[in-house]
Amino acid sequence: MTGWPGCARTARSSSRAASKHVVSALNLKVGQSLGIRPEGEGPAPMLAGGGFEVFFFHGGLTPSEVRGFASGALTCGVYVEDAIPILVLTIDGFGGLEVAFNIHAEPEDKRRAFFESAPAQGAAHLVLCDYPESVVRAVRAIRPGPWLMAEIKKACLDQLCLYKDLAHCFRAMARIYDSIGPEDMRERVLMRPA
């Protein structure tokens, strides 16, 4: 389960769908429908206070993959290129996931809360959903650690200066995903348990 074909396009459409429907991982239950229809498979990251939530829309999930996502040992790292932070996850029993953050996709109040919180306070919630039905299959909380949160925050802050808008940042993401594969990202980052 490593890599997402058309990841930048999919992340853009899935993120917009999730953010329009104001969903929070904290109050979701397994089996619950999100009530949205993302345009494709892939991740939809959203800032949540000093941390973030990532909704992964995935078709054809098996019961063993869902169990792996929910409880498998997890390591994570962050790959940064041209102020684009890509969270790289490896989950035993599930596989690899990558998700890029675009600060321009977030409203000003969420940006402010994210940047003003201490990196040590950053928590992340990961939500696995069926595609295309968007039914919650698994939810888990992780603590990526202050070093990873600080790297993501710095890159997102740099995005505000480097990219003029949402589309400009998504084009940069697409270029990065076209130039480096998921396994190459994993080889270039320090993966730590979360």
Q: DSSP states of 69-96 as a string?
A: HHHS-EEEEEEEETTEEEEEEEETTTEE
Q: Indicate whether 2 belongs to any domain.
A: no
CA Rg value for the chain: 15
Q: Indicate whether 159 belongs to any domain.
A: yes
State which H helix or E strand residue 33 sits in. none
User: How far apart are the C-alpha atoms of 114 and 180, rounded to whole Å?
Assistant: 28
Q: Indicate whether 1 belongs to any domain.
A: no
pLDDT digit string, tens, across residues 151-189 = 999 999 999 999 999 999 999 999 999 999 999 999 999
Instruction: Kindly tell me if the per-residue pLDDT of 122 is higher than 90.
Output: no
* Number of domains forming the structure of the chain: 1
Q: Which domain holds residue 30?
A: 7-188
pLDDT digit string, tens, across residues 123-139 = 999 999 999 999 999 99
Q: Give the per-residue pLDDT at 22.
A: 57
Q: Indicate whether 194 belongs to any domain.
A: no
User: How far apart are the C-alpha atoms of 153 and 96, rounded to whole Å?
Assistant: 22
Q: Indicate whether 41 belongs to any domain.
A: yes
State which H helix or E strand residue 138 sits in. strand 136-142
